[in-house]
Structure 1
Amino acid sequence: MEKLAYKWFVTNKKGFTLLEMLIVLSILSVMLLFIVPINKSNIEKVQTTKFIEQLEFDMLMIQNLSTTVDDSFSIRFYNDRYSILQGWKPAFAIRKYPPGFQIDFKNKDTIVFNKYGSIINPRKIKINVGEKDFDIVFPLGKGRFYINEE
């Protein structure tokens, strides 16, 4: 009786072997390699979009903090990054630019808002990313800045 049960267990296979599963997975991975190519330009577009969104959120945060906290907050631009500063303390956030990113801040490298949320020096900042140009416009008076894509 025991031999019959063991023989039934060994001969009655209802699954796949490890070798069969590895062959199927390798075929699927090769097919995915050809079907979904990772495009470098798509990655750069996503990086640019995310960086512009992060810059917008940081500026809105600085504008909001300037109205609620007594300390002064600012954003200072450099050639390869920008920093968020609180008064004279060290930067509490540093954001590096994505590759191919250029910001033209025309020797006005710091953005500061007064205690009412208005920018102290209204201006336009140009951002160049490959073939695309963006303008960050800070209008005079209390209000929100906006970003134009050219």
Structure 2
Amino acid sequence: MQVQHHKKYILRQAKGFTLLEMLIVLMIVSVLTSLTLTVFQSVVETKRTEFFLEQFERDLLYAQSYAINHNCAVYTYIQSEKHAYFIRDCNYNKLLERGYSNDIIVEVGTMQPIITYKNNGNAVKSGSFYFLIRKDRYKFVQLLGKGRFYVKKV
């Protein structure tokens, strides 16, 4: 009898969590997790955009460098329907082909998305076109003269 009484006493003293307390904790954890995932997703999209724009700039610098080093004009074609751009030399040999995300749309501005560098590295035409990436719009500007260019968010 003494053992049974001792078990009842232990059960009454054992304090656990109520269902309501457990649900509140689970709700707080799920809200924090969803907020973290949302923030993380936007950071990933921003980094993808930055990577694409930086890679595009590096590829254009490569095209300029190739034109100077090989004394040959170099052409960069952006083909929106294929979601890719190509760099070709004066003999139309493919130097580079790079795809990009379907989220990126190229929009014509004051020039078609074709960039040509002469054998001295200077651009043949100046002008601009746009990259629409999700909700953001970026303007590519090719300056006439020494082949300088830049990309900025508008």
Whether these two folds match at TM > 0.5 is yes
Instruction: Report the structure number with the largest CA radius of gyration.
Output: 2
Which residue does the alignment assign to 2:63?
62
- Residue in structure 1 matching 2:142, options 138, 142, 145: 138
Matched, 1:98 2:98: no
Root mean square deviation, CA, Å: 2.6
Post-superposition Cα deviations, 1:26-83, rounded to whole Å, max 9, x if no partner, equal xxxxxxxx49637333222111110100000011111122122123222111011101
SS in 1 for 2:152: strand
Kindly report structure 1 stretches of 4+ aligned residues shifted beyond 6 Å: none
The structural deviation recorded for 1:99 is 3.2
SS in 2 for 1:58: helix
1:1-150 correspondence runs (5 A): 34=33, 37=37, 39-79=40-80, 80-105=83-108, 108-150=112-154
Which residue does the alignment assign to 2:27?
none
In structure 2, stretches of 5+ residues that fail to align are: 1-32
TM-score norm. by structure 2 comes to 0.66
Amino acid of the structure 1 residue aligned with 2:76: I
Query: Structure 1: how far apart are the matches of 2:37 and 2:121?
Result: 46
Query: Structure 2: how far apart are the matches of 1:50 and 1:104?
Result: 19
- The worse-fitting range, judged by mean Cα deviation, of 112-121 and 88-97 is 88-97
SS in 2 for 1:117: coil
The structural deviation recorded for 1:90 is 4.2
Kept after mapping to 2: 8 A contact 1:47/1:98: no
TM-score norm. by structure 1 comes to 0.68
Q: How many residues align?
A: 120
Query: Structure 2: how far apart are the matches of 1:104 and 1:145?
Result: 17
Kept after mapping to 2: 8 A contact 1:48/1:98: no
